Amino acid sequence: MKLLVTGGAGFIGTNFIRTVFDKKPGWEVVNLDLLTYAGNPRNLLDIESEHPDRYRFVQGDIKDSELLHNLFKTEKFEAVVHFAAESHVDRSIYGPGAFIETNIVGTYQLLEAARSYWESSSERPNFKFLHVSTDEVYGSLGPEGYFKETTPYDPSSPYSASKAGSDHLAKAYYRTYGFPAVITNCSNNYGPYQFPEKLIPLMILNIQEEKPLPVYGDGKNVRDWLFVRDHCDALLTVLTEGQNGETYNIGGGEEMRNIDVVNLLCSLLDAKLGRQGETSSSRLIHFVKDRPGHDRRYAIDSTKIRSELGWTPQHDFKTALAKTVDWYFENQDWVESIRTGEYLKWIDQNYDERA
Ligand code: NAD
Ligand code: TYD
């Protein structure tokens, strides 16, 4: 199998490529990534040097139609796994433009290049286009109920609206052209290599450095957490077993309120850092101004992928969260490498206004 992975230098893309090299001997990967602030070329240096015949990195933009057409022509991919996106809700509130450009226009350009290659390919290989998306397209749940594949789209943020637009395009390409697209909508991921603008790595680093822990609103918003490697296994399953034109919801079934996640992180880090009582990290928790349009609850019904494709998550939240904390402790050089001027600027912009 020869794969085009877009956005493979980001959080989930990196973990996905690592999963491919762990589990699929012989598969080849071309990783196309623009290396925005969220992409880190260091993430896969070991794979690059150990497997020069099976892994290639291309720095480029999914909006670059000429580059895409040339890549398909020369590499003759058998499948695409499309991660590349602007992915942070708070950034989409400050500046929606990049989200429209990358997530909608970029996905359109990628679909067009892939369709043109697929239509002109004489053998019509068992080509597949896996569009990786989010449960946020479904909007917000009350205390009851779950997102099913049939739940109507109702996005709240420019991020989720732009992902919804890209999902609709992928589905329309299947219905209109018979293009072999399959879509996954996954809940919140956590694990190694996540950029520390997202809740869990941000809190780990702030606890370590005894900085304030900014909890939005009342801290009672609920997310359904999934360890990133379980998501990657689900994606491999959908890639090899999923039906074209179908959507598969992926979730861990581990619902947690944000405040409970932060308290759990405090206790995990307190145990490592020898803090207790008055020095306990929970003293650093600050409730700050809420995110506008903040979805109250996400929860996934993943019956379809479990029953039809046989996938189940292998990690429970508490154990894999502890593993994630260990990873950030053991990879301080990675953390330092992404704490560039741009990252620090974002932290000032987002959190000064909320204080
Ligand atoms: P990320 O922000 O960590 O990584 C995105 C990657 O895309 C980066 O490497 C970036 O350089 C690259 N990129 C951005 N614009 C590009 C462009 N124009 N051309 C080429 N590359 C570009 O994101 P992530 O958390 O790894 O998410 C990956 C995908 O999974 C996204 O599509 C996201 O919507 C989806 N998703 C994420 C989660 C989550 O919890 N993080 C959950 C469900 C779905
Ligand atoms: P985030 O990691 O940004 O993921 P998403 O918005 O895609 O769910 O946020 C997870 C939850 O944590 C969300 O309810 C917002 C909240 N949050 C905070 O309370 N404080 C923070 O500093 C951040 C980044 C998020």
Tell which residue, 350, 352, 351, has the closest CA to residue 95. Answer: 350
pLDDT class of 247 with cuts at 50, 70, 90: very high
In angstroms, the CA 126 to CA 3 distance is 12
Q: What percent of the chain has pLDDT over 70?
A: 99
Question: Which numbered ligand comes closest to the C-alpha of 298?
Answer: 2
Q: Where do the H-state alpha helices sit in the chain?
A: 11-23, 45-50, 65-75, 89-94, 97-99, 107-120, 158-177, 199-208, 228-241, 258-273, 303-309, 317-330, 332-338, 341-352
Residue 123, pLDDT above cutoff 60? no
Whether this model's pTM surpasses 0.75: yes
Atom of ligand 2 nearest to the CA of 294: 14
Atom of ligand 1 nearest to the CA of 63: 18
pLDDT of the residue at 312: 98
Residue 130, pLDDT above cutoff 70? yes
pLDDT of the residue at 167: 99
112 is catalytic: no
> Among 36, 108, 188, 302, which residue has the most ligand 1 atoms within 8 Å of its CB, making it the best to mutate?
36
Point out the catalytic residue in the list 136, 224, 246, 255: 136
Domains of the chain: 2-190+226-252+297-316+341-350 (3.40.50.720)
Where do we find the tokens 């196309």? 32
In angstroms, the CA 122 to CA 127 distance is 12
pLDDT of the residue at 125: 63
pLDDT of the residue at 349: 86
Q: What is the pLDDT of residues 177-215, one digit of tens each?
A: 999 999 999 999 999 999 999 999 999 999 999 999 999
Backbone angles phi, psi at 22, to 5 degrees: -75, -40
pLDDT class of 325 with cuts at 50, 70, 90: very high
Question: Which numbered ligand comes closest to the C-alpha of 294?
Answer: 2
CA–centroid distance, 123 to ligand 1, in Å, is: 32
Highest mean pLDDT among 114-123, 265-274, 343-352: 265-274
